[in-house]
């Protein structure tokens, strides 16, 4: 139990308004918690508080009551017996009349109302008394914001929880609510107010009830908020948005049908305003109202509604109709929000009451539109008003038709014949009968307006079936009259559209667009019993396919037809139409695939491939067909090439492979079984090459080899390990049957290597490249047969200068299991053995011999590769090839984190020295290759050794290499004697620095910044290194903007500025100048005293940049100059 005087203290604290809010809060919490754990009872508390609750001091009484109320608010879940609750309710109800303490009373009432069910709640009788007192005593609008909100919340609670009890208050309640909310302006309160109206509407649904009689007053109060204007944005803590308020208002307005006589005229009036927001809100609200008020009440407004809607359609539609392939499946013009809302309102009205359609059909505009249509045959000839008329009427009719089966019937009955007549499909005979025009192709008039209207109607009926089918499975629409009309006209309609497609007049694009769109619409009727028979459907497909295969070249027509075919294909796939799928397969897919195989048509092969792949990607079965077709095409083209020497067919081959890689491979995850098909394709590529024998003529299809390699890599990359194994087996057998194994017998000695040339036959080169691709992409788990001799083979090939062989060798040693490792797959060669072949064991004897405290690195002179690299023997050519090859091998080792990469790195470094262990400097070109080898080592490659091709990547391998190699390069730079060697060392260092993650640089800025700066000035002397220079400059700019880098930048400010100033006039690369100027701006972040001495110098340099030939540099210069001027 709380000590009485302690309690008194708490009470005093709360009541005393001079105390801080936190103190008051604390005492409130203390009391509430002692009540919560029963150390104090409510009775005791009230007794103790008596003085505070009844005193005549207004302030103290108000605070006292508020305290009691707040305490109750904290105890909502604490069980209290009914007498206590009753007494408290009585107390607070009474206090509602005490205007000075009204806040406490409201909080108390609200706290009691919100009590949990189990803990004792307010009874209905009490609630009624509370409501009465509230109505009689509280003038809500006279209160402050917070109290108003409380008042509305209390009303909301009463209406929600005790509706039966207070319903008897009737008129009084409605009147009081009306008074309470009149003129409310706070958004939070308004949200509650709108809800109150809804609750009242639910409470008094009777037409003779109090709400019905007071509806006009009540609507006057809330109607004035419409359309809602609210511009406050975020900073409001309640975070109320305009949409919430507007939604609340809409719900309130549509809450009861009694508002109808007042609401609809208001909404119609606001709809005609020029404010877009008002229009959108009105349309939304009208839709809600139409639903809630019911048909009977809405009926009398139909006239007004229709004309307002029509005006809205006219004002919200643009006249620009797009004829691009993308708009085949959309209305073809832009829809804004007003337009969309108007569409949905029209649809709702028609769906709800078919008699509304009478206004639509009888409208004078509908009759006029036929005149307009037959007056202009070309869309572009029409004046804007006529365009608008056609578009709007078409839209209105199609939206209405889409609403229900009945409306569709009515609209088709009303206008379809007239439309057919206008289009020349139906003609009146002298007897007045309507007959179908037999040879409609002759006399058809292609009125664009009519075609548009016709397509819109057909699309509407098509959508109707789709909507219908999704809701109920039984196809009951076959008896409907629109259905029979479409059915009876389907043949001539298809003829009309076909003739439009084939038209060749001066505005043929529009003709064709409408033709294709029409055919597309006709082709997308759903279901077995669609109004379009199967033979007609096939006719549509044939027409479209014939456009694709016609020798017309890539025109708009071609693109439209292709898009339409793709649409139909995906439609069939989406709705599982097996019959149509068969037709589609036999007419479209088979045709295109066979075209791709024959390659003897007049169409460019690229287009055939594009069409085939687009069409086939619509369904998995088509993909299968296509891959098989392409496989066949590939084999026949290749054999065509080596038998007849047809160069065109080898071009086709590379295009075909390109299509396979670009179009099919990305979707391999989505289509089941595609992987298997592709693996099969890869194997048959090998088969084909195996049987190809000797190429009959000289082969210089670089493009083809590239394409074949890419495809092979990608296919192997995505294949499962088993499939990879089978491809590897196949490839290996092809390799061993070729003349390649002969190379394995070349011993790795100087004498043998000296005479190596790039001398493979073109067939062998192809086989080698493809085989290398397979190895590059194979996963570590795949088994490679006879790996040791393969290593040898690849090694010799790389010495001959075949880069793919070097990459393959790198990939191979990257993935080989190590001899003792647990994941050793059953292969005959471990990593150590492979390395032994490469380094020839002796390599390991390269030792560090320390003498006189300085480190001298000596290399095993017996090592063939390193000797070649260092130029002991062999031509310069051989030397550079070896260096490049070594780089790739090193990359493979580096990524898996194998320590022998250091040996390779040391050889490369040795190459860069001005005097290496061979006693003389290397040829400049060899040095350049050695420097660039560091780029190979450090940068990420697209072609091999990445995640896509299952490379083994040790985390942080770049960082490790960075920390070993940079000190070596640094000391060499210090000691280098010749400028050439110095430059090359800097190039190597730049490659390393610019490829390592920037955080590593930032950790070592102090040490690196001088090196980078020196590198920049060395590299800027030669235009060959401009890209390297730029990437190094980017690293520098990274260090300048970082906080860690700034300290050392401040130390080196003078060198940095000097270097950057030089680079602002770097002539070879614009981005270098731009970045240098940006860096100068970044330097302004440094302490003022450090940079001020350079102000004059920088400004002079920048003044020159103001006259730079490139605009971007000049702009940067202006910014920089301005920034430096104000320092």
Partner 1 sequence: MVTGLINENPIIYPKKERRLRTDTSTTDEDIKDPEHPNTLEDLRVVTEDSVEVDDENSYVRVTFTPTVEHCSMATVIGLCVRVKLLRSLPSRYKIDIRVAPGSHATEDALNKQLNDKERVAAALENPNLVEMVDECLPSEE
Closest CB 88 distance from partner 1, rounded Å? 58
Cα distances (angstroms) measured from residue 392 to each of 312, 313, 365, 520, 711: 10, 6, 10, 22, 51
Q: List, in order, residues 6 or more apart from 538 with CB less than 8 Å away.
A: 583, 587
* Residue 1070 interacts with partner 1 (CB under 8 A): yes or no: no
Q: Which is nearer to partner 1, 76 or 1104 (CB)?
A: 1104
Segment near partner 1 (CB under 8 A), from 316-324, 427-435, 776-784, 1119-1127? Answer: 1119-1127
Q: CA 610: distance to chain centroid? A: 25
Q: Whole-angstrom Cα distance, residue 255 to residue 269? A: 20
Does position 1119 interact with partner 1 (CB under 8 A)? The reply is yes
Count the Cβ atoms, other than its own, within 10 Å of residue 671.
15
As measured in angstroms, the least distance from the Cβ of 1115 to partner 1 is 8
Query: Exposed (0-12), middle (13-18) or buried (19+): which is 829, by Cβ within 10 Å?
Result: buried
693: tokens are: 């024998």
CA distance 654 to 634: 9
CB 943 within 8 Å of CB 805: no
CB-nearer residue toward partner 1: 844 or 1123? 1123
Residues of this chain, 1086-1115, that bind partner 1 according to CB under 8 A: 1103-1104, 1106-1107, 1111, 1114
Q: Which is nearer to partner 1, 463 or 1115 (CB)?
A: 1115
Answer yes or no whether residue 1126 interacts with partner 1 by CB under 8 A. yes
Shortest distance (Å) from residue 1106 CB to partner 1 = 4
CB of 1093 to partner 1, least distance (A): 21
Residue owning tokens 């499962």: 720
Give the x/- contact pattern for partner 1 in 563-602, rule: CB under 8 A: ----------------------------------------
Contact 210, 168 (CB under 8 A): no
Min dist CB 1071 to partner 1, Å, is 20
Q: Omega of the bond prior to 227 within 30 degrees of 0, cis?
A: yes
Tell me how far, at minimum, the Cβ of 472 lies from partner 1, in Å: 54
Minimum distance, C-beta of residue 1092 to partner 1, in the bound complex (Å)? 17
Q: Report the residue number, 1026 or 1114, with the smaller CB distance to partner 1.
A: 1114
Positive/negative CA dihedral, 606, 611, 616, 622: negative
* Residue 330, helix vs strand vs coil: coil
Residue of 701, 601, 596 lying closest to 651 (CA atoms)? 701
**CA atoms of 946 and 953, how far apart (whole Å):** 8
Tell me how far, at minimum, the Cβ of 952 lies from partner 1, in Å: 49
Task: Select 349 or 1101, whichever has its Cβ closest to partner 1.
Answer: 1101
H-type helices in 692-754, by residue range? 702-718, 721-737, 750-754
Smaller CB separation from partner 1, 940 or 1107 = 1107
Cα separation of 832 and 843, whole Å? 13
User: Closest approach of Cβ 1103 to partner 1, in Å?
Assistant: 6
Exposure on the CB side of residue 34, measured as CA atoms within 13 A = 18
Cα–Cα distance list, 332 to 40, 485, 620 (Å): 75, 26, 30
Q: Which residue, 694 or 1126, has its beta carbon nearer to partner 1?
A: 1126
CA 421, CA 429: separation in Å to the nearest integer?
12
- The footprint of partner 1 on this chain (CB under 8 A) covers a number of residues equal to 13
Q: Which is nearer to partner 1, 132 or 1114 (CB)?
A: 1114
Q: Is 836 near partner 1 (CB under 8 A)?
A: no
Judged by beta carbon, residue 116 or residue 1112, the one nearer partner 1 is 1112
Tell me how far, at minimum, the Cβ of 630 lies from partner 1, in Å. Answer: 45
Which among 460, 316, 305 is positioned nearest to 388, based on CA atoms? 316
Write the CA distances from 202 to 163, 173, 217, 221, 369, integer angstroms: 10, 14, 17, 18, 46
Question: At 485, is the secondary structure helix, strand, or coil?
Answer: helix
Residues 890-909 that bind partner 1 (CB under 8 A): none
DSSP single-letter state for residue 324:
S
- Give the H or E element holding residue 992: helix 979-995
Minimum separation from the CB atom of position 703 to partner 1 (A): 37
Residue 1061 Cβ vs partner 1, minimum distance, rounded to whole Å: 17
Q: What is the dihedral of CA 951, 952, 955, 956, to 10 degrees?
A: -70
* Smaller CB separation from partner 1, 433 or 1107: 1107
Residue whose C-alpha is closest to residue 925's, from 910, 915, 912 = 912
Short-list 285, 395, 291, CA closest to 343: 395
Q: Please state, in angstroms and rounded to a whole number, the distance separating the CA atoms of residues 758 and 767.
A: 15
> Whole-number minimum distance, CB 1073 to partner 1, in Å?
15
**Cβ proximity to partner 1, 562 vs 1083, nearer residue:** 1083
Q: Which is nearer to partner 1, 43 or 1122 (CB)?
A: 1122
Residue whose CB is less far from partner 1, 751 or 1126: 1126
Question: Which residue number, 903 or 1108, has a Cβ lying nearer to partner 1?
Answer: 1108
Rounded to the nearest whole angstrom, what is the least distance from the CB of residue 1105 to partner 1 in the complex? 9
Contact stretch for partner 1 (CB under 8 A) within 234-242, 1002-1010, 1022-1030, 1118-1126: 1118-1126
- Residue written as token pair 């003078």: 1054
Q: DSSP string covering 520-578, please?
A: HHHHT--STT-SS-HHHHHHHHHHHHHHHHSTT-S-HHHHHHHHHHHHHHHHHHHTT-H
Using the minimum distance from each CB to partner 1, give the nearer residue, 676 or 1114: 1114
Distance CA 633, CA 870 (A): 49
Task: Please state the closest distance from residue 1097 (CB atom) to partner 1, in A.
Answer: 16
Q: Is 1123 in the site for partner 1 (CB under 8 A)?
A: yes
CB 1126 → partner 1: shortest distance, Å?
6
Whichever of 434 and 1103 has its CB closer to partner 1, that residue is 1103
Report the DSSP pairing between strands 854-857 and 848-851.
antiparallel
Tokens describing residue 849 = 């011999």
Nearer to partner 1, 1047 or 1100 (CB): 1100
Please state the closest distance from residue 1084 (CB atom) to partner 1, in A: 10
With binding defined as CB under 8 A, does residue 700 bind partner 1?
no
Q: List phi, psi (to 5°) of 434.
A: -100, 120
Q: How many residues does the chain have?
A: 1127
Nearer to partner 1, 353 or 1115 (CB): 1115
Q: How far apart are CB 300 and partner 1 at their closest, in Å? A: 46
Phi-psi region of 860 (alpha: psi -120 to 50; beta: other; left: phi over 0): beta
Determine, following the binding rule CB under 8 A, whether residue 1065 of this chain makes contact with partner 1: no
Residues that bind partner 1 (CB under 8 A): 1103-1104, 1106-1107, 1111, 1114, 1118-1119, 1121-1123, 1125-1126
């Amino acid at each position: 139990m709380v000590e009485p005087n302690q309690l008194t203290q708490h009470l005093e604290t709360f009541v005393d308004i001079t105390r801080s809010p936190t103190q008051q809060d604390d005492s409130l919490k203390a009391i509430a918690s002692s009540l919560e754990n029963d150390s104090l009872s409510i009775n005791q508390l009230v007794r103790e508080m008596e003085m505070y609750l009844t005193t005549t001091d207004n302030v103290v009484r108000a605070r006292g009551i508020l305290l009691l109320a707040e305490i109750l608010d904290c105890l909502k879940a604490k069980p209290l017996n009914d007498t206590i609750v009753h007494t408290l309710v009585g107390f607070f109800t009474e206090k509602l009349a005490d205007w000075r303490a009204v806040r406490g009373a409201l909080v108390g009432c609200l706290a009691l109302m919100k009590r949990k069910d189990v803990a004792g709640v307010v009874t209905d009788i009490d609630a009624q008394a509370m409501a009465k007192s509230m109505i009689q005593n509280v003038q809500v609008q006279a209160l402050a914001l917070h109290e108003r909100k409380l008042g509305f919340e209390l009303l909301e609670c009463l209406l929600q929880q005790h509706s039966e009890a207070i319903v008897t208050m009737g008129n009084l309640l409605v009147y009081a609510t009306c008074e309470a909310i009149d003129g409310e302006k706070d958004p939070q309160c308004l949200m509650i107010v709108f809800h109150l109206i809804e609750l009242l509407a639910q409470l008094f649904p009777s037409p003779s009830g109090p709400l019905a009689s007071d509806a006009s007053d009540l609507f006057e109060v809330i109607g004035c908020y419409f359309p809602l204007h609210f511009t406050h944005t975020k900073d409001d803590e309640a975070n109320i948005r305009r949409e919430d308020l507007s939604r609340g208002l809409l719900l309130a307005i549509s809450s009861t049908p009694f508002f109808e006589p007042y609401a609809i005229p208001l909404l119609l009036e606001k709809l005609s305003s020029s404010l877009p927001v008002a229009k959108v809100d009105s349309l939304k609200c009208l839709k809600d109202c139409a639903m809630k008020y019911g048909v009977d009440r809405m009926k009398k407004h139909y006239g007004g509604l229709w004309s307002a809607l029509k005006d809205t359609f006219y004002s919200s539609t643009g006249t620009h109709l797009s004829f691009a392939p993308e708009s085949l499946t959309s209305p073809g013009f832009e829809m804004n929000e007003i337009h969309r809302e108007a569409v949905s309102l029209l649809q709702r009205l028609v769906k709800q009451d078919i008699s509304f359609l009478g206004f639509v059909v009888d409208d004078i505009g509908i009759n006029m539109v036929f005149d307009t249509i037959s007056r202009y045959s070309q869309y572009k000839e029409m004046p804007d008003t006529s365009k608008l008329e056609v578009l709007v009427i078409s839209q209105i009719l199609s939206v209405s038709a889409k609403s229900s089966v009945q409306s569709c019937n009515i609209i088709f009955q009303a206008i379809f014949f007239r439309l057919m007549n206008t289009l020349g499909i139906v003609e009146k005979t002298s007897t007045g009968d309507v007959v179908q025009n037999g040879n409609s192709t002759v006399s058809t008039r292609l009125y664009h307006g009519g075609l548009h209207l016709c397509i819109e109607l057909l699309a509407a009926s098509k959508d109707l079936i789709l909507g219908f089918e999704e809701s109920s499975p039984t196809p009951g629409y076959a008896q409907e009259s629109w259905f029979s009309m479409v059915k009876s006209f389907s043949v001539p309609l298809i003829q009309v559209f076909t003739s439009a497609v084939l038209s060749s007049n001066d505005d043929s694009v529009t003709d064709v667009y409408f033709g294709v769109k029409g055919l597309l619409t006709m082709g997308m009727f759903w279901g077995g019993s669609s109004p379009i028979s199967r033979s007609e459907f096939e006719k549509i497909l044939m027409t479209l396919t014939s456009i694709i295969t016609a020798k017309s070249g890539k025109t708009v027509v071609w693109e439209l037809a292709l898009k339409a075919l793709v649409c139909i294909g995906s439609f069939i796939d989406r709705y599982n139409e097996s019959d149509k799928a068969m037709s589609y397969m036999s007419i479209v897919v088979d045709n295109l695939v066979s075209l791709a195989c024959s390659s003897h048509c007049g169409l460019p092969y690229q287009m055939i491939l594009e069409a085939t792949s687009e069409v086939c990607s619509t369904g998995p079965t088509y993909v299968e067909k296509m891959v098989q077709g392409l496989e066949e095409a590939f084999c026949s083209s290749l054999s065509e090439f080596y038998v007849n020497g047809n160069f065109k067919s080898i071009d086709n081959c590379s295009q075909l492979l390109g299509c396979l890689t670009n179009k099919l491979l990305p979707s391999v995850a989505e289509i089941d079984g595609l992987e298997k098909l592709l693996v099969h394709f890869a194997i048959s590529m090998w088969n084909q090459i195996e049987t190809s024998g000797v190429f009959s003529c000289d082969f210089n299809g670089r493009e083809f080899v590239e394409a074949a390699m890419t495809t092979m890599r990608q296919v192997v990359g995505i294949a499962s390990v088993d499939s990879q194994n089978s491809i590897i087996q196949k490839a290996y057998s092809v390799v061993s049957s070729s003349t390649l194994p002969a190379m394995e017998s070349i011993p790795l000695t100087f004498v043998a290597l000296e005479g190596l040339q790039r001398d493979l036959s073109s067939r062998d080169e192809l086989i080698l490249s493809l085989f290398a691709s397979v190895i590059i992409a194979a996963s570590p788990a795949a088994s490679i047969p006879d790996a040791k001799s393969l290593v040898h083979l690849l090694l010799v090939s790389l010495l001959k200068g075949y880069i793919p062989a070097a990459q393959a060798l790198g990939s191979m040693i990257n993935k080989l299991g190590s001899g003792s490792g647990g994941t050793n797959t059953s292969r005959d060669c471990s990593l150590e053995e492979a390395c032994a072949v490469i380094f020839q064991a002796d390599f390991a004897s390269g030792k560090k011999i320390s003498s006189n405290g300085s480190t001298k690195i000596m290399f095993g002179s017996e090592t063939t590769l390193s000797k070649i690299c260092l130029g002991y023997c062999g031509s310069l050519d051989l030397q550079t090839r070896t260096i490049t090859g070594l780089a790739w091998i090193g990359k493979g080792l580096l990524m898996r984190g194998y320590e022998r990469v250091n040996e390779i790195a040391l050889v490369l470094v040795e190459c860069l020295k001005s005097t290496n262990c061979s006693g003389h400097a290397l040829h400049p070109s060899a040095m350049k290759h050695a420097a660039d080898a560091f780029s190979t080592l450090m940068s990420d490659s697209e072609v091999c050794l990445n995640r896509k091709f299952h490379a083994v990547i040790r985390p942080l391998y770049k960082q490790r290499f960075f920390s070993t190699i940079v000190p070596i390069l640094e000391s060499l730079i210090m000691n280098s004697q010749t400028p050439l060697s110095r430059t090359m060392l800097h190039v190597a260092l730049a490659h390393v620095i610019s490829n390592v993650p920037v955080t590593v640089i930032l950790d070592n800025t102090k040490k690196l910044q001088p090196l980078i700066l020196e590198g920049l000035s060395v590299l800027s002397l030669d235009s060959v290194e401009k890209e390297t220079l730029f990437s190094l400059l980017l690293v520098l700019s990274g260090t300048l903007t970082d906080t860690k880098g700034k300290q050392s930048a401040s130390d080196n400010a003078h060198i940095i500025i000097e270097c950057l100033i030089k680079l602002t006039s770097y002539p070879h690369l614009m981005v270098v100048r731009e970045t240098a100027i940006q860096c100068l701006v970044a330097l302004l972040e440094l302490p003022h005293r450090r940079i001020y001495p350079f102000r004059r110098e920088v400004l002079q340099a920048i003044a020159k940049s103001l006259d730079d030939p490139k605009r971007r540099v000049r702009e940067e210069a202006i910014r920089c100059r301005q920034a430096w001027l104000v320092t």
